[in-house]
Structure 1
Amino acid sequence: MNQMRCISFAGPGRFIKKRYCRDTVCIETELVQEAIFHLYGPDEIIICLSDPSAAGIASDLEGRNIPIQKLWIPFGTDEPQLWEIFSTICGAVKDKEVVLFDITAGCHSLPFMTFLAASYLQSVCHVTIAGVIYAPVTGDDGFCRFVDLKPMMGILDWIAGVKAVTNYVDAEPMYSLVKDLQGNIHRSGEHPEPPVRLTSWASLLWQFSDAVRLARPVDALYAASGAIHDIDGINEELLRFAPSLIPVLAATRDLSDLAAEPEMARNMGEYVRKQIRLIGFQLDKGLFLQAVTLGREVLITLLMIRMNLDADWRDADIRHEVSRTLTGGSLAMQNRPYEKTRYSDDLIRYDDWKEMVLIWTRISDLRNNLAHCGMNQRDDSVRSIRKRASDILPDIERFYHLCLPEKR
């Protein structure tokens, strides 16, 4: 089992005996660090000192057989000193260590700096934070009961979870938080009407985010449809149990333009329109590889609709042959030999076939460049690739209107 150390603060002043309590166990002492040593059992206490007049507390604790390490920190009167406090505290902790913070005697900036240090150590250095405790003034019953502020550190996890969903289309962290929240509420038995929708909703958002990042339009549209179902009921539960997730719910409402169940594919014109909106969503989130990959597939679907092949729009063999048809058209425009498909003659009967082929060539070429990770002798810069990817939507929209003229 890992040893635990406590980082505590000491200030000047006269120390008065108090009865410190952790749950039902109490100890009477004038030194809060002694109470922590006996009630929480750290192997060592690190005393952070700024004022030399407070250094005597270390000797008092050592005289009571309590292992002590002194750590000098500045008063924190300006920004450089605040950074020094942060660096000194973090530097006193080893990776993967177990640390208990005590801020009972921490004044001015020290509680805030402790919160930052604890969050940093937990997130970056894989340190286990056993608690962030303090003993408030004596209550009416004459006891000083320790309060643990560690649960409040979870606010940062919720902030990160919300940002992951709204900025980066990654709902897995939020799903884990919501699942734990709903489970804990049910296990506590304290709420007569516990939440019943939140975990399912977060799971659907997770499925949606995975499908978007994997360029799986059918799964993404279906998950979006589920996520917006019963949105008012979800809103009511969020207001009661997780108001910090309201921004995520607002983003969820925006998914209505992307929501579609698989049965909607019977109306292929509208269904593929949803997929084009999904491409726009991917571009907005910086998912350029996924957007270009899906964009190429949408062009194939659109030509299949125009050729009355949409009943088999997910048939891999037919899709491959239609893609070869478009590539053959590109070669024909360059007066280069190509192998005709059973759809080649149908393609060149369209008055606008050359415009369709040019769009196909641009997007297919970009997709191939991305799919092969730039493993070629072309001198394409990352910035130019990003620019080309960002600009694919007008081409796809034009292809849509060429294939579905009634939608113009």
Structure 2
Amino acid sequence: MKLISFLGIANYQTANYVWRGQEHTTRFFPDAAAHFLQPVQTLICATPTVQKHANLHELIAQLTEANVAHEIVPIPEGHNEADLWEIFKALTNAVAEGETVAFDVTHSFRSLPFLAFLAVAYLQAAKKVRVERVLYGAWEARDENNHSPVFDLTPFVTLLDWLTATNRFVETGDGQALANLLRAGMPPGIQMRDDLMARTLGHNLKSAAEAIESVSLALRVTRPIEAMQSAAQLAETLAQATPGIQERAKPFQILAERVVTEYGQFAVENPTDEPSLRDGLRRQLQMVEWYIKRRHIVQAATLAREWIVSTLCLRFGEPMFDYTEGRKYVEGALNNAAERRKKAPRTIEPSRCDEPLEALPCAETLSKLWGQMIELRNDIAHVGMKSSPKHAALLKQKVEAMYPQLLELANVLLPSDSE
């Protein structure tokens, strides 16, 4: 592990720094940090002014005496924006891909702490660097015995991870990164085996991770029934996991409400039960819009087609979840209606749903939309492997144009309970 520290020209006072049962007396916290963390190398970021100052010479002498390998990382004074970019570059270049690092921001000054935190986030994402610790030696918080505490700022670094993962889940539906962070907060296996509280804590965090994964996966593979069930369980599961989140995943405690709000719109506890079918279809239409807004065009087109069939199954009293006994007759009637309206229709095979479909006030609109849906679905399903495939942008445009028509159909086919 590398330790990256900073040094200034202030008149640092001697303090007895205390961290996790260890103590070390020194003027310079980089010396204490090296004692606590035992890095393979300590990097001291120093401006030209610091490089000439007695502070650096004294710190180097202390590190040398303690047999701590060290290196000076030259950085500019930071008088302008160009300097700040050079400092950022120096910090990120000092670490190789995949390395483990710790940061000490105690003697950093002006904007350096901010740049250090940004460097941490950048290194994690761009170089897959593992950040072991971010420490601050709080000399100003010393007690009457001159014992100065050391603040572990590492959990605050993970705020960016939690924010990024939550945004990814809310904006795209991919909850894997968020689930991984929750699992990372679980106590070690041995601790969970021997300690009931740790076991309960781990179980709650695992349940929260699984609930997020369940909703995420159901949406990504277009499983609306499963998505509605999982969304209904999500709020309850996260509420039960609150003690664990408060203790081991504090940043998510604030973000959890956003997750529940986003996916609560799809929540139906028993979507296949007869009393819930109408509500479930309304939620599925919301899913179509959700997919479109996130540019999940394949899922939007797939669900939109099945939504039309499901809605007519409910309208005609056909089994919604049985293709052989219900859905195939509705699909047959839709195909027939679209075929009849062609200039040169082919021979059609009658369906028992032909008559009720043609009796609908929206039969013309429905037939036209279904014809477009067939063409769109076939183009998507064959992944453009034909002589004249539609461009992706055009497919997106067509799916977006269909959604207002679906809303109009819903007003006719799924009137509110009060109507």
- CA deviations on 1:70-94 (whole Å, 9 max, x unpaired) are 2110121222111110111100111
- The 5-angstrom pairing of residues 172-211 of structure 1 reads 172-179=176-183, 181=185, 200=207, 203-211=210-218
Question: How much has 1:53 moved relative to structure 2?
Answer: 2.0
C-alpha separation in 1, matches of 2:409 and 2:159: 47
1:382 aligns with: 392
C-alpha separation in 1, matches of 2:237 and 2:23: 50
C-alpha separation in 1, matches of 2:226 and 2:350: 31
Report the residue type matching 2:289 in the other structure: G
Q: Between 149-158 and 32-41, report the one with greater CA deviation.
A: 32-41
C-alpha separation in 2, matches of 1:245 and 1:386: 36
Residues 98 and 130 in structure 2, CA contact (< 8 A), matched pair in contact too: yes
Residues 7 and 46 in structure 2, CA contact (< 8 A), matched pair in contact too: yes
State whether structure 2 residue 161 is matched by structure 1 residue 157.
Answer: yes
Question: How much has 1:30 moved relative to structure 2?
Answer: 4.1
Q: Between 244-253 and 96-105, report the one with greater CA deviation.
A: 244-253
Instruction: Pick closer, same or farther for the CA change 1:216–1:133 going to 2, 3 Å.
Output: same
- The 5-angstrom pairing of residues 308-387 of structure 1 reads 308-309=317-318, 311=319, 313-315=321-323, 318-320=326-328, 322-334=330-342, 335-343=344-352, 346=355, 350=359, 353-378=363-388, 380-387=390-397
1:99 aligns with: 101
Report the residue type matching 1:169 in the other structure: G
C-alpha separation in 1, matches of 2:261 and 2:19: 46
Residues 175 and 203 in structure 1, CA contact (< 8 A), matched pair in contact too: yes
C-alpha separation in 1, matches of 2:309 and 2:94: 60
- CA deviations on 1:103-132 (whole Å, 9 max, x unpaired) are 222121222211111222123211122211
Which of 286, 304, 310 aligns to 1:295? It is 304
C-alpha separation in 1, matches of 2:244 and 2:61: 51
TM-score by length of 1: 0.82
Residues 242 and 253 in structure 2, CA contact (< 8 A), matched pair in contact too: no
State whether structure 2 residue 134 is matched by structure 1 residue 126.
Answer: no
Q: Determine helix, strand or coil for the equivalent of 2:73.
A: strand
Which of 31, 34, 38 aligns to 1:37? It is 34
Q: What is the aligned-residue identity percentage? A: 22
2:16 aligns with: 19
C-alpha separation in 1, matches of 2:416 and 2:185: 50
- The 5-angstrom pairing of residues 70-89 of structure 1 reads 70-89=72-91
State whether structure 2 residue 266 is matched by structure 1 residue 258.
Answer: yes
Unaligned runs of 5+ in 2: none
Question: How much has 1:397 moved relative to structure 2?
Answer: 3.3
Question: How much has 1:402 moved relative to structure 2?
Answer: 5.7
Q: What RMSD in Å do the two structures reach over aligned CA positions?
A: 3.7
C-alpha separation in 1, matches of 2:138 and 2:216: 44
- CA deviations on 1:222-257 (whole Å, 9 max, x unpaired) are 2222235599x6698699665754454255246555
Residues 185 and 205 in structure 2, CA contact (< 8 A), matched pair in contact too: no
Q: Between 119-128 and 201-210, report the one with greater CA deviation.
A: 201-210
Residues 10 and 49 in structure 1, CA contact (< 8 A), matched pair in contact too: yes
State whether structure 2 residue 172 is matched by structure 1 residue 168.
Answer: yes
Residues 21 and 146 in structure 1, CA contact (< 8 A), matched pair in contact too: yes
Residues 235 and 249 in structure 1, CA contact (< 8 A), matched pair in contact too: no
Question: How much has 1:16 moved relative to structure 2?
Answer: 5.1
Residues 198 and 234 in structure 1, CA contact (< 8 A), matched pair in contact too: no
Unaligned runs of 5+ in 1: none
C-alpha separation in 1, matches of 2:373 and 2:4: 59
TM-score by length of 2: 0.80
Residues 238 and 245 in structure 1, CA contact (< 8 A), matched pair in contact too: no
State whether structure 2 residue 48 is matched by structure 1 residue 60.
Answer: no
Q: Determine helix, strand or coil for the equivalent of 1:174.
A: helix
Question: How much has 1:360 moved relative to structure 2?
Answer: 0.4
C-alpha separation in 2, matches of 1:333 and 1:27: 87
Question: How much has 1:282 moved relative to structure 2?
Answer: 2.6
Q: Determine helix, strand or coil for the equivalent of 1:262.
A: coil
Instruction: Pick closer, same or farther for the CA change 1:228–1:264 going to 2, 3 Å.
Output: farther
Q: Between 148-157 and 262-271, report the one with greater CA deviation.
A: 262-271
Residues 282 and 288 in structure 1, CA contact (< 8 A), matched pair in contact too: yes
Report the residue type matching 2:257 in the other structure: L
Residues 162 and 245 in structure 1, CA contact (< 8 A), matched pair in contact too: no
Question: How much has 1:291 moved relative to structure 2?
Answer: 1.5
Instruction: Pick closer, same or farther for the CA change 1:24–1:179 going to 2, 3 Å.
Output: closer
Question: How much has 1:17 moved relative to structure 2?
Answer: 4.5
